[in-house]
Structure 1
Amino acid sequence: MTQKTSQGEDLLDQLTSDSRQTRQIARRRMIAEAVMNEGSMRIEDLTDRFGISLMTAHRDVDELVSRGLFRKTRGIVTAAATNLIESSEVYRSNRQSTEKKLIAEAAMQFVEPGQAIFFDDSTTVLQMAAHLPSKVPVTAITNSLTLMNALKGMHDVTLLALGGQYYNWCNAFMGRMTINEIRGLRADVAFISMSAISDGTVLHQSPETVDTKRAMFDCSVKRILLADHTKFERRALHSFAALDEFDVVIVDDKTQPAHIDRMRSRDINVVIARGAGGRS
C-alpha cells in the first residue's frame, strides 16, 4: 500500500510540474506579445497584468532577454529601438511588414542573374529571399543566420555564409572576423537597411552593425539602401554613411514627399515602392 501511495504521489508531482511548466510557457508568450505590442513596459506593470510576483516577472523577463527578444534596463523591458539600442529581430520582423515586402519586391529590379550580392541582416532585406528564384543563378553573401536558413538548398543560389561572433539580438554574425571575410570579397551589389535616417545621414545604434555593413558597402560596386517611412527623422548614435553615397534609395509610398524631394534635390536615385507592383 505504501508503494502504491508513493507511486501516486510521484505521478501527481510530475503532473503538477508539467502543468506549472505549461503555464509558465504560456505566460511568457503572453508577456512577449504584450511587450512587442507596446514597445516597452515597466516590469512592475507586468505583475498587475498577469497576476504574478515581482520576482516571477523578473525571472520571466530575464528568460526572454536571454533569448535576444528584449532588453531590460532599470526596471523596464524594451522591444522597440532607442537611440542607443536596436530592437530584436523578432520585434522588427513584425513591424511595417507590408512596406518591407513592397520595398524588397522593388529591390529585385536591381538583381541580375550571375551577380554576387551582399545581403545584410536586416528584416527588410530578408524579404528579398522569396523573390531570388526568379533571378538565379546568383551568389548570395550574408551574415544573417535567418537568411542563411532561408537560402540554403535554394536551387542555383550559391550561398556564402559569413562567420564571426554571433549576436543573438539580430541573429547574425558581426565583428572583426566577419569584416575580414567580407574584405576578401567583391560583390556586384549590396542591399543594406539601417535603423535611422536624419539630416541626410544613415545611422544605427550598434557600432558592430555599422562596421560590418560598412565593409559590405565598401566591397560592392553598387550600394542600395532599403528604408521604410519610419526610418526617416529617427536618430541613432553611430553614423554609417551619407544618403548620397548610395546609388539607389528604395522607400515605400508612405514616406513623406518632403523627404523624397530633399533626396532627389541631391541627385539621389529614389525608387518608391507601391502596392500591386507599382513603383516610381
Structure 2
Amino acid sequence: MTRDAGASTGSAGASTGNARLQDGSRSQNSRRQLIAEHVLEHGTVTVTEIAALTGVSVMTVHRDLDELARRGVLRRFRGGVSALPSSVFESNLDYRLGVRVAEKEAIARSAAGLVEPGMSVLLDDSTTALALAGLLTATVPLTVLTNARRVVDVFAGQEGVRLIALGGEYSHTHDSYLGVPCVEAVEALAVDLVLVSTSAMDARMTYHQEQDVVLVKRAMLGSGARTALLMDHSKMPRTALHRLCPVADFDHVVVDARTDPRLVAELRKQTDVRVAGDDASRP
C-alpha cells in the first residue's frame, strides 16, 4: 500500500511537472511572439527595453533573441535588436507557424465546410492552408493539389486521397515550390476549389510582398471554378508591395472573429464572407 501511495504521489508529481513544462513552453512562445511584434512595430529596440516589456531576465531575453534571429525574424546587434525587412520576416515559415495559431485553426475549421467529398482542391503554401489540410484527411474521396511540401506530407499515403504535388524551384523560406515551372504546372489545371492566403489586404484589394509568390497565387486562382481567401485579422487592413487581386474576385473570404466588424461589412458588399465561429455568417 505504501509503495502504491508513493507511486501515486510520484505520478501526480510527474503530471504536475509536465503541466508546468507545457505552460512554460506556451509562455515562451507567447513571449517570443510579443517580442517579435514589438520589434517589428518599433524597428529597433534594446535588450533592456525588451526585458522590461516581458518581465524576464536579460539572460532570458538574449536566449529569446538568439532564437528569433536564428529563425530569420530579427537582426541582432550589440545591446539590441532590429527588424528585418518585411519581405524577410513575413515570408519566413518558422515565424508564420508560430503566430495567430488559434485564429488560423478557427479559420481552417470554417473553410473546411467549403470542401465536399469528390472535389478537387488546390492548397497554397500558407500556414492557414496547412492547418486546413489536417482537417481534410477524412474528407474522401478527395483530389488535393499543392506546391507546399508540408501539405504533401499531411496527405501522403492517405487512403482515398489522390495527391498531386506541384513542382518548381524549391524555396527554403516558404518550404514550397515556386517559379516559372510551378506557374506552368498550375496553368494546366482546372480544379473545383482553390484555397489561399496572402500577407495583406484592405477592403478592396489583396497584396503580397513577393513577386514570385504573387505569380503562383494568381495562376492558382485562375485555375479554380471557385476560390476562397483565408485571412486572420492581423493581416488587415494592410498593404504590401505587390497587388494580388481585388477582394471581389474571390467567391468566399474566411476571417477570424477578431476582424473589425466594419471591415467585414465592407467585404460583404463584394463577396461571401464567413467569420470563423460565427454560424450566422454561413449562408
Does the 8 A contact of 1:117 with 1:190 survive in 2?
Answer: yes
Q: Which residue of 2 aligns with 1:38?
A: 35
Q: Which runs of 4+ in 1 moved over 3 A?
A: 31-37, 40-46, 48-51, 60-63, 69-79, 277-280
What are the Cα deviations for residues 21-79 of structure 1, in whole angstroms up to 9, with x where unaligned? xxxxxxxxxx9997544114869749x9449x9xxxx9x689826xxx43649885547
AA partner of residue 194 (structure 1): T
What CA distance in whole angstroms lies between the structure 2 residues aligned with 1:101 and 1:35? 20
TM-score, scaled relative to structure 2: 0.74
Q: Which residue of 2 aligns with 1:257?
A: 261
Instruction: Say whether 1:96 aligns with 2:111.
Output: no
Q: Which residue of 2 aligns with 1:273?
A: 276
Residues 254/44 of structure 1: CA separation in 2 closer, same or farther (3 Å cut):
closer
What CA distance in whole angstroms lies between the structure 2 residues aligned with 1:188 and 1:172? 22
Residue correspondence of structure 1 range 62-141 to structure 2 within 5 A: 64=70, 69-70=72-73, 72=75, 76=81, 78=83, 82=86, 86-141=90-145
What CA distance in whole angstroms lies between the structure 2 residues aligned with 1:71 and 1:165? 26
Kindly state the Cα deviation for residue 278 of structure 1 after the two structures are TM-superposed: 7.7
What CA distance in whole angstroms lies between the structure 2 residues aligned with 1:220 and 1:258? 29
Does the 8 A contact of 1:35 with 1:77 survive in 2?
Answer: no
Q: Which residue of 1 aligns with 2:51?
A: none
What CA distance in whole angstroms lies between the structure 1 residues aligned with 2:244 and 2:175? 20
CA RMSD of aligned residues (A): 3.3
What CA distance in whole angstroms lies between the structure 2 residues aligned with 1:237 and 1:271? 27
Gaps in structure 1 of 5+ consecutive residues: 1-30
Does the 8 A contact of 1:32 with 1:64 survive in 2?
Answer: no
Residues 263/199 of structure 1: CA separation in 2 closer, same or farther (3 Å cut):
closer
* Identity fraction in percent: 29
What CA distance in whole angstroms lies between the structure 1 residues aligned with 2:203 and 2:45? 35
What are the Cα deviations for residues 151-179 of structure 1, in whole angstroms up to 9, with x where unaligned? 11111111111111111111111111111
AA partner of residue 130 (structure 1): G
Does the 8 A contact of 2:205 with 2:247 survive in 1?
Answer: yes
TM-score, scaled relative to structure 1: 0.74
Q: Return the index of the structure with the highest Cα Rg.
A: 1
What CA distance in whole angstroms lies between the structure 2 residues aligned with 1:110 and 1:32? 31
| Count of residue pairs the alignment pairs up | 242
